[in-house]
Amino acid sequence: MSHIIHRNLRRAPRLAVRAAGLTVTDSEGRHYLDASGGAAVSSLGHAHPEVLAAMHAQIERNTYAHTAFFTCEAAEELASRLAGDAPGDLDHVYLVSGGSEAMETALKLARQYWLERGQPQRTTFIARRQSYHGNTLGALAVGGNEWRRAPFAPLLIDVPRVSPCYEYRDRADDETGDGYTARLLHELEQIILATGPENVIGFVAETVVGATAGAVPPTPGYFRAVRKLCDQYGLLLILDEVMCGMGRCGTLYAFEQEGMLPDLVVLGKGLGAGYQPIGAVLARTPIVAALREGSGAFQHGHTYMGHPVAAAAALAVQKVIQRDNLLGAVTTRGAALRRMLRTAFSNHPQVGDIRGRGLLIGLELVADRATKKPFDPALALHAAIKEAAMARGLMVYPMGGTIDGRHGDHILLAPPFIASEAE
Ligand code: PLP
């Protein structure tokens, strides 16, 4: 019997004993092709020699120094690099241990910013219905996955919500793309006005929606218009790029393709690429300046923040991505993979949509293509597909989203950037 509280309490998962490149091997000697990078994490595959070497070197020099006493070279270099590669004045980095911690950090940083600016009445975040921002209480509160939220709803802060940007399901037949985007923006403006702009801390969204909808990119111009609205009403714009950032969509930050600048960017997953647990928040200069000139400190912190070995691993990942021009590979491989999927599945009666950006690709499954009717959620089709794929030696990431009471099954593909055409 396992003493671990596994995700499924009735059945322990397979035991992974080795992993290299795109292949994970279990204790029975079976091999699995990692076509999802776990959950869009392993951007360099497994056991990349240069990342391992950087981690070994860091372990021998300095494995830990508490940030109340010291900073470390690896964390400083990583932060300089992340800030240097980010557009505009996104020049400040807060390093934590994962995506949820990073989201909590962003929420608190945004709240403290308004306190420092003498606006303590700003207590409300506005978010979208179709979103996942993490499983800790603050992140869960701004997230819109009803299934994950339901048991803990009484513990969560109230978050007004707007519709997601989900063209496949929500654009009306007689509506243009621009018309649909304008409708979404109108809804957001109405919520801001109903809440009172002076009470709102900021708007939270995933740049490309990952785990609740299966790789849904925004419509063209959506985030530029959101940025304008946030500026008009004085809201901070917080973009969650835990899944879609760090090169997964073909640019280091997914928002770079949207022609706008958020105030805070939340990172995780691909930052450490599975080699170490690490997340980060990128913040624009005025936010950090307000804290520096005000109370002089961000009232936050974690024991393992800025961990030297995690920072060294993330830094090595960044260096490999840049040296090997892997962002270019993400774009070309992603386009090729979507083409192959369309060839294979475009006429499949149960594949409603094939979409994504870069190497973040989603397949939405439907019971009926014409009506886009989803499968009965009781079937847990996504889970069955994951099992069937595993039985054939393939890892795909399954999701059964609950959105406004509608259910949809999705399969997410997020292969490592180093995947060959054959793989
Ligand atoms: N935000 C997004 C968009 C995510 O996809 C996830 C994880 O799936 C998180 C936040 C939470 O990150 P973590 O699981 O590292 O806490």
Task: Please provide the average confidence, as pLDDT, over all residues in the chain.
Answer: 96
pLDDT at 378: 83
Start-end of CATH 3.90.1150.10 domains in the chain: 16-47+325-413
Per-residue pLDDT at 407 exceeds 70: no
pLDDT at 1: 85
pLDDT at 377: 84
Q: Say if CB 331 and CB 358 are below 8 A apart.
A: yes
pLDDT at 380: 86
Report the alpha-carbon distance of residue 30 to residue 390 in Å, rounded: 10
- Render pLDDT for 344-366 as a digit per residue (tens, 0 to 9): 998 999 999 999 999 999 999 99
| Assigned CATH class of 16-47+325-413 | alpha beta
Task: Specify the pTM.
Answer: 0.98
165 by DSSP, 3-state: which? coil
Question: Could you say which DSSP state residue 94 is in?
Answer: E
Per-residue pLDDT at 317 exceeds 80: yes
151 by DSSP, 3-state: which? helix
Question: Which is more confident, 406 or 305?
Answer: 305
Percent of the chain with pLDDT over 90: 91
171 CB neighbour count, 10 Å cutoff: 18
With the most atoms of ligand 1 within 8 angstroms of its CB, the residue from 105, 243, 265, 357 to mutate is: 243
CA nearest ligand 1 atom 13, residue:
99
Per-residue pLDDT at 202 exceeds 60: yes
How close is the Cα of 75 to the center of ligand 1, in Å? 21
pLDDT at 406: 59
ipTM over 0.90: yes
Tell me whether strands 236-240 and 200-206 are parallel, antiparallel or unpaired: parallel
Using the atom order of ligand 1, give the atom closest to the CA of residue 136: 16
Percent of the chain with pLDDT over 70: 98
Per-residue pLDDT at 404 exceeds 80: no
pLDDT band at 35 (very low <50, low <70, confident <90, very high): very high
Residue in the structure block whose two tokens are 């950006």? 357
User: According to CATH, what is the number of the domain 54-323?
Assistant: 3.40.640.10
CA nearest ligand 1 atom 1, residue:
133
Residues with a CB atom less than 6 Å from ligand 1? 39, 98-100, 103, 132-134, 206, 210-211, 240, 242-243, 268
How close is the Cα of 389 to the center of ligand 1, in Å? 23
- Render pLDDT for 220-249 as a digit per residue (tens, 0 to 9): 999 999 999 999 999 999 999 999 999 999
Per-residue HEC secondary structure of 271-310 comes to HCCCCCCCEEEEECHHHHHHHHHCCCCCCCCCCCCCCHHH
How close is the Cα of 379 to the center of ligand 1, in Å? 25
- Render pLDDT for 44-93 as a digit per residue (tens, 0 to 9): 999 999 999 999 999 999 999 999 999 999 999 999 999 999 999 999 99
How close is the Cα of 49 to the center of ligand 1, in Å? 26
Start-end of CATH 3.40.640.10 domains in the chain: 54-323
